[in-house]
Amino acid sequence: MTVTIREARIPKVSDLVSVWAVIRRYKALVIGIVIAFTLAALDVAFLTRPVYRASVVLIPADTNDSSAGLGAMLGDLGGLATLAGLNLGGADITVEALATLQSRQFTEEFVKENILLPVLFADDWDAETKSWIVTGADIPTLSDAYSLFDSRIRRAVEDKKTRLVTVEIDWRDRVAAADWANKLVGKLNEVMRTRAIREADASVAYLQQELAKTDMAALQQAIYRLIEAQVQRRTVAAVRPEFAFRVLDPAVPSDPDDFIRPRRALYLVAGPVAGLLFAVFLVLTIDFFRREFAREGP
C-alpha cells in the first residue's frame, strides 16, 4: 500500500485578499461579535468574585528518634524493635505527615470541626434560617467537601532540595484562606503528636511485657535501651507543639487586589481575539453556503 504525503498548501495572496473581502462585506457582523466577546470577557474579569491564595511555609521538624542507628547496634533485636513500633533508622515523618494532611479522614474532620460545609457550599445554604435550600441527595456532604477541598482549595508542595513544604489555600475570602491554612498546619501537628504519643505508649507497654519474659542480662539491657528511646520520643511529642513541621512563614491575608483568579489581563486579550477568530470563521461559513446556494440556483 502506497502512502501519499501531501505538502502543506501555503495560502496564496489572492486567497487572503478574498478572505479580507468577505470580512469587509460582513464587517458589521464581525464588529458586533468582537464587541460581544469583549463584553463577555469584561464581565467575567470584573464581575467574577476574586479567588485569593494564602500560603504557609514549613520545614520538617527534627523528629528523628534519638535511637538513630540503634538497629545496627542491636543486631538480632531489630525485629523486636520493629514490633514495638520503634523506627531504628530515625526516618523523618514528612511523607506520613503530608499524606495525612491530604487524606480524606483528616480533611473531613477539619471541615466538621470548623463548620465549613455552609461556607464551602454557600449557594445552597440559607444564612437567615440556617438551613439548606436544597433537599435530599442534593444536600452537600463531608465527602463533597473533601472532593472540593482536595481538587480546588488545598495544595501541599514539597521542595525536595530544600525540604521546605508550602501549604496553599485558594478561596474567595482572603481572611478565611489565611485562617484555614494556619489551622490546617496546627491540626496536622496535633494529629501527628497524638499519634506519636500513642505509638510510644504502645511500644513501651509491649517492651515491658517482653522484659518480664526474659532473665538474660544482655537482652534486658537492649530492651531497656529501646524503652528509653520510646520514652524520649514521647517526651519530645508531649512538649513540642510543632511536632511534624515548624512554621517558617505563617499565612497572612492577601491584599484586596492581590488575587490569583480571574486573570483580568488574560481575559482582556483573549476576549477580542476569540471574538475575532469566531467572527471570521462564521462569516466565511456564511459566505461559503451563500455562494453554494447561488450556484445551484432556484
Using 70 as the pLDDT threshold, list the residues of the chain that sit under it: 1-15, 62-92, 296-298
Identity of the amino acid at 181: A
What pLDDT is stored for residue 9 in this prediction?
A: 53
Beta-bridge partners for 57: 166, 249
Amino acid at the residue 132: W
Q: How many domains does the chain have?
A: 2
Whether residues 176 and 81 share a domain: the answer is yes
pLDDT at 89: 44
- Co-location of 287 and 213 in the same domain: no
Among the listed residues 240, 210, 237, 213, the one whose alpha carbon sits nearest the alpha carbon of residue 226 = 210
pLDDT of amino acid 222: 84
Q: Which of 15, 66, 23 is nearest to 284 (CA)?
A: 23
Residues 236, 290: one domain?
A: no
User: 217 and 111 in one domain?
Assistant: yes
90 and 162 fall within a common domain: yes
Confidence (pLDDT) at 49: 87
Residue 255 falls inside a structural domain: no
Domain co-membership, 181 together with 127: yes
Is 4 part of a structural domain of the chain? Answer: no
Structural domain includes residue 241: yes
- Predicted confidence at residue 292, as pLDDT, reads 76
What is the per-residue pLDDT for 148? 96
Q: Are 121 and 153 in contact (CB under 8 A)?
A: no
Indicate whether 95 and 213 sit together in one domain. yes
Rounded to the nearest 10 degrees, the angle between the axes of helix 174-213 and helix 104-113 is: 120
In a domain, 234, yes or no: yes
* Whether 82 and 224 share a structural domain: yes
> Does 94 reside within a domain?
yes
- What pLDDT, on the 0 to 100 scale, is given for residue 82? 57
Same domain? For 84 and 211 the reply is yes
- Asked if residue 40 and residue 64 are part of one domain, the reply reads no
78 and 225 in one domain?
Answer: yes
Q: What is the pLDDT of residue 262?
A: 85
pLDDT (0 to 100) of residue 71: 47
Per the structure, the complete domain to which residue 113 belongs is given by 52-249
Q: Cell for 225?
A: 535501651
Same domain (yes/no): 86, 164 = yes
pLDDT for residue 44? 82
pLDDT at 72: 47
Q: Which three cell numbers stand for residue 192?
A: 501527628
